[in-house]
Amino acid sequence: MRALIIATREIRAYFSDVADLLFGLALPVLLTLLILAVFGTPDFYPTAHLVDMDSGEGALAFRERLGKRTELQELDPAEANRLLERSAVYHVLWIPAGFSDSLEAGEDARLRILQRGSGSVEGQVVTAIAHAVLSELAIEADARRRVHRFADALGVDDNTVDIDARTDAFLARESSAPLVGVATETVGAQPDMALRTVAGVLGMFLLFTVTLGGVATVEERRSGVVQRLKTMGVGASDFFVGKLVSGAFKGILQAGIMLALLSLLDVPPELPRLLGALAFAVLALLAFGSFGLLLGGLARTREQALWAAILFTMISAVSGGTFFEVGANPTTAAIARASPVYYAIEGLGGILEGGGGLAIVGPLTVLFAITLILGPIALVCLRRAWERGS
Amino acid sequence: MAFVSASNLRKSYDGEPAVVDLDLDIFAGEIFGLLGPNGAGKTTTIKMLATVLAPDSGDAEIGGYSIVSAPREVRRIIGLCPQDIALYEDMSARENLLFFGRMAGLNAREARTRAVECLATVNLDARADERVHRFSGGMKRRVNLAIALVNQPRLLFLDEPTVGVDPQSRARIYDTIRALAGEGTTVLYTTHYIEEAENLCNRVAIIDGGQIIAQDTPRGLHTLLPDTERPTLEDVFLHLTGRTLRDV
């Protein structure tokens, strides 16, 4: 009963503190909106910066095809140089004068790519696309030349048969249904960076909520509240459970609001997935809450607890993959496995993306183990503080 | 028969003795002052008697219950007003009283009633629903005291309850303490203000180096300086504890 009264007091204090509410509820919502604005579009669509000094047929064909696969931004030469100079853009595709004539004649038709450093990931993607488009154009130009040579050899009259039109029709058919190509098959759920990042932000704020709860515990120890509670017959276990329950409640509220926001914005997850994610968040909160209370029992001063909470949360959030994909690089992937936020992201992200089942067994097991190990240790530390009366 | 009877209480921190074989008797309805320089062992003594800290050895009986073997029973009859403002400043005075009342084992109705009574006792009933962080230092001290009264304790521990308090609030706290003692509450009071102890306490013990070096009524303590004309309690205190600074 006392534990529940302690939890109720904490929750009421939380709702009556505007700063707490802003930090705990408004900030994660704002971050979520920001993330959705940045990652809202499902596919990556790179921007290609282009200067066309040629404007011939070949250059036009190149621009048309590139425009279908990228967001094409045409620049004049001076502007392109200025933007590159200021690092406002990292790459520019430069079609030199005479490019179309050279392409048609089968001569050296070379596209220039100006880039700062490695040209950024986006620039590298655009370069790869430009290479592919140029290859297509070169092959097609070669095909036309060969057809003309064969037609000449066979004595076909260019005036009775439109050789170019027929060649283009064959090329178009080959382009729409190529004999040689790549067949892409999607295996499992579609990884969604937006959902992953929302899961990461949620994990980060859940961790913040409970670690900052640990700071409040240190304040209560230092101010004499713990002494007072002890003389009133309140046990360390009552206090521990009360804190854990209030931390879990605040975290679930945060999780609920962010997940509800996702559904309002028509981001994929449906109600069962949202409820699954909420249930998973409870387990994550118990694991994180144990750490928060460990901090509350161990730290000697408010500042110590505050810095430990901030450092642990930020390092866990960053290394756990809140702000970038950690799985692609073996080193970051290995480091991420030491972060509790990583398991929150894996679990929450997996559920939101529709993975569920085996996909969340790993994170579930790890978070459960953290709770089982850290929970009793935190309780022992708190009991010691209780015995010391501070 | 003493309401509080401590014998051979001993407590050390990391091998440093804080209280050494302390014996103490306090009678029911008495305001008993514990005077001593910084680090003398006042707060440790109060913490042991209030069951916050377990003594390394020795025992004390409060209302017939041992602080070592029956701390739960002791906790039902004591109230502690710690040296620091031990409350939640983000809550109103009334909410603090309600919360700590429930923590002390009162049901919701009892806690509400006691909150009203205790806030009236410290003359804060008009400001009951204001958040404590808006209060002056003196008002916070009065809420701190009111919380210690919420479970109607038979023994009240007041650890320097008037630190940083203006004369008006201090006078109000004295009146409250005298009224409580008049109703039969026993009070153990620690202070740095010797004049305060002289005016308020029925008996005073002077503690130094973790040991009680003198105890009597304030007037009785004056007789320890027979050669001084009209000695004050401060003269006696300095005579017994010396003039050496303790916290350098």
At A325 the pLDDT is 73
Helix (H), strand (E), coil (C) string for A199-245: HHHHHHHHHHHHHHHHHHHHHHHHHCHHHHHHHCCCCHHHHHHHHHH
Q: Does B83 touch chain A (CB under 8 A)?
A: yes
Chain A nearest-CA distance from B178, in A, is 23
How many contacts (CB atoms, under 8 Å) link A and B?
Answer: 71
What is the share, in percent, of chain A residues with pLDDT greater than 70? 90
Could you tell me where the DSSP H helices lie in chain A? 2-16, 18-21, 27-39, 57-69, 77-85, 99-105, 120-154, 163-176, 193-223, 225-231, 236-264, 271-298, 302-319, 330-336, 340-352, 358-388
Chain B nearest-CA distance from A216, in A, is 11
Chain B nearest-CA distance from A207, in A, is 23
Strand-by-strand arrangement of the B155-159 sheet: B78-81, B155-159, B186-191, B31-35, B203-208, B211-216
Q: Does B88 touch chain A (CB under 8 A)?
A: yes
Chain B nearest-CA distance from A13, in A, is 7
At A169 the pLDDT is 83
Q: Does B76 touch chain A (CB under 8 A)?
A: yes
Q: Is A9 close to B99, i.e. CB distance below 8 A?
A: yes
Q: Confidence class of residue A316 from pLDDT cuts 50, 70 and 90?
A: confident
At A44 the pLDDT is 62
At A387 the pLDDT is 80
Q: Tell me: the pLDDT tens digits for B41-58?
A: 888 999 999 999 999 999
Q: Among A117, A107, A288, A302, which Cα is nearest to A202's? A: A288
Q: Tell me: the pLDDT tens digits for A341-376?
A: 888 888 887 787 776 566 678 888 888 888 888 888
**CB-closest option in A5, A16, A389 to B53:** A389
Q: Among B89, B195, B196, which Cα is nearest to B141's? A: B89
Q: Give the three-state DSSP class for B70.
A: coil
- The torsion angle over the Cα atoms of residues A306, A308, A314 and A315, rounded to 10 degrees, is 170
> Do residues A72 and A48 lie in contact, with contact meaning Cβ atoms separated by under 8 Å?
yes
Q: Is A228 close to B151, i.e. CB distance below 8 A?
A: no
Give the chain B residue whose CA is nearest to the CA of A9: B99
Question: Distances from the Cα of B241 to the Cαs of B33, B236, B237, in angstroms?
Answer: 16, 9, 6
Give the chain B residue whose CA is nearest to the CA of A231: B75
Task: Say if residue A185's pLDDT is above 80.
Answer: no
pLDDT tens digits in sequence order for chain B, 248 residues long = 788 999 999 999 888 888 998 999 999 999 999 988 888 888 899 999 999 999 999 999 999 999 999 999 999 999 999 888 999 998 999 999 999 999 999 999 999 999 999 999 888 889 989 999 999 888 898 999 899 999 999 999 998 888 877 888 888 888 889 998 998 999 999 887 888 888 889 999 988 888 888 888 878 777 777 677 777 777 777 776 776 666 65
**CB-closest option in B90, B95, B100 to A228:** B100
Q: Does B105 touch chain A (CB under 8 A)?
A: yes
Looking at per-residue pLDDT, the higher value among B81 and A35 belongs to: B81
Chain A nearest-CA distance from B238, in A, is 30
Spell out which residues of chain A touch residue B90, defining contact as CB-CB under 8 Å: 13, 16-17
Spell out which residues of chain A touch residue B75, defining contact as CB-CB under 8 Å: 231-233
Chain B nearest-CA distance from A218, in A, is 13
Over residues A237-241, mean pLDDT: 86
The two beta strands, B31-35 and B186-191, are parallel
Looking at per-residue pLDDT, the higher value among B46 and A161 belongs to: B46
At A355 the pLDDT is 62
Over residues A151-164, mean pLDDT: 77
Q: Is A231 close to B75, i.e. CB distance below 8 A?
A: yes
Q: Does A181 touch chain B (CB under 8 A)?
A: no
Taking the mean position of all CA atoms in its chain, how far away is CA B164? 16
Residue of A227, A386, A390 to mutate, testing the B interface (most B Cβ within 10 Å of its Cβ):
A227
Looking at per-residue pLDDT, the higher value among A153 and B6 belongs to: B6
ipTM of the prediction:
0.87
Q: Confidence class of residue A171 from pLDDT cuts 50, 70 and 90?
A: confident
Looking at per-residue pLDDT, the higher value among A297 and B54 belongs to: B54
Burial of B14 (0-12, 13-18, 19+ CB in 10 A): exposed
Q: Tell me: the pLDDT tens digits for A247-264?
A: 888 888 877 887 777 666
Chain B nearest-CA distance from A31, in A, is 28
Q: Does B104 touch chain A (CB under 8 A)?
A: yes
Q: Which residues of B217-247 are buried (b: 16+ CB within 10 A; e: fewer)?
A: ebeebbeebeeeeebbbebbbebbbeeeeee
Give the chain B residue whose CA is nearest to the CA of A12: B91
Q: Tell me: the pLDDT tens digits for A82-113?
A: 988 888 888 899 999 999 888 888 888 888 88
Residue of B52, B106, B156 to mutate, testing the A interface (most A Cβ within 10 Å of its Cβ):
B52
Spell out which residues of chain B touch residue A388, defining contact as CB-CB under 8 Å: 53
Q: Does A387 touch chain B (CB under 8 A)?
A: yes
Chain B nearest-CA distance from A186, in A, is 54
> Do residues A24 and A206 lie in contact, with contact meaning Cβ atoms separated by under 8 Å?
no
At A54 the pLDDT is 92
Spell out which residues of chain A touch residue B78, defining contact as CB-CB under 8 Å: 231
Q: Is A227 close to B80, i.e. CB distance below 8 A?
A: yes
At A267 the pLDDT is 54
At B154 the pLDDT is 93
Q: Does B143 touch chain A (CB under 8 A)?
A: no
At A357 the pLDDT is 64
Q: Does B79 touch chain A (CB under 8 A)?
A: yes
Give the chain B residue whose CA is nearest to the CA of A220: B86
Q: Does A384 touch chain B (CB under 8 A)?
A: no
Burial of A19 (0-12, 13-18, 19+ CB in 10 A): exposed
Q: What is the identity of the amino acid at A291?
A: F
Q: Is B102 close to A5, i.e. CB distance below 8 A?
A: yes
Q: Tell me: the pLDDT tens digits for A39-69?
A: 655 556 788 999 999 989 889 989 998 888 8
At A250 the pLDDT is 82
Q: pTM here?
A: 0.71
Q: Confidence class of residue A189 from pLDDT cuts 50, 70 and 90?
A: low
Q: Is A233 close to B104, i.e. CB distance below 8 A?
A: yes
Q: For all residues of chain A together, what is the average pLDDT?
A: 81
Sign of the dihedral defined by the CA atoms of residues A272, A342, A288, A318, in that order: negative
Query: How far apart, in Å, do the first and last CA atoms of chain B sit?
Result: 41
Q: Does B224 touch chain A (CB under 8 A)?
A: no
Over residues A322-346, mean pLDDT: 81
Q: Residue A201 and residue A345: Cα distance in Å, rounded?
A: 9
